Structure 1
Amino acid sequence: MKLAAREYGSGGQPFLLLHGLGGDMSVWETLAPQLNGRAVAVDLRGHGQSPDGPWDWEAVLDDLDTTTVHFGLADPVVVGHSLGGILAAMWALRHPSCPAAVSLDGHRSATTDPENYAGLPDEQLQTGLARLNALFTAQLETITRPDRSITSFLRTAPEFMDALPVFAKATSPFLLVLATRNLPVPPDLLPLMDAHRAGLRRDLPTICPNVRVHEIDATHGMVVERPAEIAAIVNHFVSNRSNA
């Protein structure tokens, strides 16, 4: 599948930029020009201006392979936001020569296994998960792109629900930029969001000792909230990856 894409810059370190679920390549418009190199941002299949198609991890990675060949990106640094961050890890597994991969707050679905939360009583955890799942279900009713087949697949995909086991297999230098503030949610769901983050902080050092974690004072929308800071973090990581 040929993806819609946009190129930023003309030389230096190549970057491949991957947006999150429901997003498109426009999310990188401010950040991409601040990277130290040549960047290509894509619309993933079923998103933005790219064609529709069934979601299968290997097929999506094939799309990205086709894009890198088309643009002549040899061993790009892959930077992904949310879903794109999970794909960045998968790309690094498929391409062991990948010089570095960065996930911008792409790690676990907000509705993951109850064991992945920390510090919340079980009854409150179960109530919060039921409430959040109901909100997500209602939200999906209003979304036309990506289509229901993609959102349904991802919502239950083990890699989307918890990408930490994928991260743990990465041999390329890997950076996870973790948001420390919550997106606007109903007040009764704030404890669930805090427990989700606490579970990540608990589990990352043991499950993914290979992953470098950088926390940032931003929400999940960090790419548009703090583009200059994110670009600086990525540039520093890439330039110092041999010490990561």
Structure 2
Amino acid sequence: MSSLASDETTEFSFLARQARALGAALPPVRRLRLPLSDGRSLSALRYGEEPVEVTLLHGAGLNAHTWDTTVLALGRPALAIDLAGHGDSSWREDADYTGRTLAADVIEALRAWTDHPQVLVGQSLGGLTAAAVAAQAPELVRELIVVDITPGVDQSVGPAALREFYRVVDGASRDELVDRAQQFGFGGSREDTARGVFLNTRVRPDGRVEWKHHFAHIAAQLLAAAPAEGTAAPAAPAGILGEHGWADLAAVASPVALVRASHGFVSDDAEREFRTRLPTARVRQLDGSHNLQETAPTALAEIIRTAVDAGA
């Protein structure tokens, strides 16, 4: 079966259809690039022309486009950043993708691309990164919204099916990767899966299509190095594990909210620990899976809009 992509498809080709489905206005969208001092670069999507009010950080293995539908439903100027190692941002040679390390890039981007404190929204790995940003640079964050993650949730390994899925890091075509994603039960309709695959892959010089994000390649390396049964497992790269999330959240001076998915990563025990450690934080639950920006975009947009309007 053919996917949505063609030779004329661009990263912005899907937005008009998404806007029509929502009955939402289609804002101008452009890609930004920020050179970093170590030779890497950071990339982002800028929605709208007015001053940015909301900055969005995606989860592991995703990219800035995961927020497209939520931003369309939100109807506010927004900045969605490709974290290092994801989307169009550079990979890190040290594979260090902990929240505190990623936060340094985000802080530099906020200082370059925004001119007043943000409602900072982070999902999964992006939530841990957002907490580190708010702790390290409180002047940049007006409110912190963490989506379906707490520091107690194990992000180091991921579901077995996801690890097996990333055993294959490239394909002869995007259709081949769409087929594989559907076989593993990832994504919704074929149309949605095709859009996600297109936005999360690139064509190499040899013509093969590979996943953009570094995590897929790290996972493949770990699987290739998997030991025989009964022997020690290979060590994970430095960037997959994080240990400072609770300290970062405790240091956040701005209001904090946790948005939990009904079928996500945050368990009842994890929510109780979050409430105990941050008794003044707000907690909301939405009906959806871990990637709430894709499975409950309108409801999530309403929560974000309320935070934005509260500071207007």
TM-score class, shorter-chain normalisation, is: 0.7 to 0.9
> In structure 1, how many angstroms separate the alpha carbons of the residues matched to 2:159 and 2:114?
42
For the structure 1 residues 170 and 36, does the alpha-carbon distance in structure 2 shift closer, same or farther, using more than 3 Å as the test? farther
Quote the residue 1:83 is aligned against.
Answer: 125
CA contact (8 A) 1:168 1:211 kept: no
Given the alignment, which residue of 116, 135, 150 partners 1:93? 135
Following TM superposition, by how much is the alpha carbon of 1:139 offset from its aligned partner in structure 2, in angstroms?
A: 5.0
Which of 215-224 and 30-39 deviates more?
30-39
Answer yes or no: is 1:105 the counterpart of 2:148.
yes
* Distance in structure 1 (CA, Å) of the matches to 2:149 and 2:311: 20
Task: Classify the secondary structure of the residue corresponding to 2:56.
Answer: strand
- Letter of the aligned partner of 1:103 in structure 2? V
Equivalent residue in structure 2 for 1:219, among 266, 278, 289 = 289
Q: Is the alpha carbon distance of 1:35 and 1:95 closer, same or farther for their aligned partners in structure 2, counting shifts above 3 Å?
A: farther
1:208 maps to which of 273, 278, 285: 278
Deviations 1:72-128 (A, max 9, x none): 34322211111111111111111222211111112146548xxxxxxxxxxxxxxxx
Please list, as runs of the form range in 1=range in 2, the aligned pairs for 1:1-244 lying within 5 A after superposition: 1=36, 2-12=41-51, 14-35=53-74, 37-53=76-92, 54=94, 55=96, 57-97=99-139, 98-108=141-151, 110-111=153-154, 138-139=164-165, 141-142=167-168, 145-146=213-214, 147-148=217-218, 152-159=237-244, 163-182=245-264, 197-240=267-310
**Higher fraction of helix:** 1
Asked if structure 2 preserves the Cα contact closer than 8 Å seen for 1:20 and 1:81, the reply is yes
Q: Distance in 1 between matches of 2:138 and 2:147?
A: 20
Q: Distance in 1 between matches of 2:305 and 2:295?
A: 18
Look at both structures and tell me which one has the larger radius of gyration over its CA atoms: 2
TM-score, length basis structure 1: 0.73
Secondary structure at 1:7's aligned position in 2?
strand
Structure 1 portions without partners, runs of 5+: 113-128, 183-192
SS at match of 1:89: helix
Matched residue of 2:111: which SS? helix
Distance 1:43 1:141 in 2: 23
- Shift in Å at residue 157 of structure 1? 2.1
Distance in 2, matches of 1:65 and 1:203, equals: 28
SS at match of 1:37: coil
Return closer, same or farther for 1:89/1:16 CA change in 2, 3 Å cut-off.
Answer: same
Deviations 1:159-210 (A, max 9, x none): 4xxx34432221111111011125xxxxxxxxxx7xx612123212211113
Find the aligned partners of 2:64 and 2:254 in 1 and give their Cα distance: 24
SS in 1 for 2:259: strand
* 3-state SS in 1 of match to 2:121: strand
Residue aligning to 1:126: none
Match of 2:103, SS?
Answer: helix
Q: Distance in 1 between matches of 2:99 and 2:260?
A: 23
Q: 1:82–1:104: 8 Å Cα contact kept in structure 2?
A: yes
- Cα displacement (A) at 1:50: 1.0
Separation (CA, whole Å) in 2 of partners of 1:12 and 1:173:
21
CA RMSD of the aligned region, Å?
A: 3.1
Distance 1:165 1:179, change over 3 A: farther
Which residue identity lines up with residue 256 of structure 2 in the other structure?
A: F
Q: Is the 8 A contact 1:96 1:171 kept in 2?
A: yes
Identical-residue share of aligned pairs (%): 25
- Kindly provide the amino acid, as one letter, of the partner of residue 49 in structure 1: D
Moved more, 170-179 or 5-14: 5-14
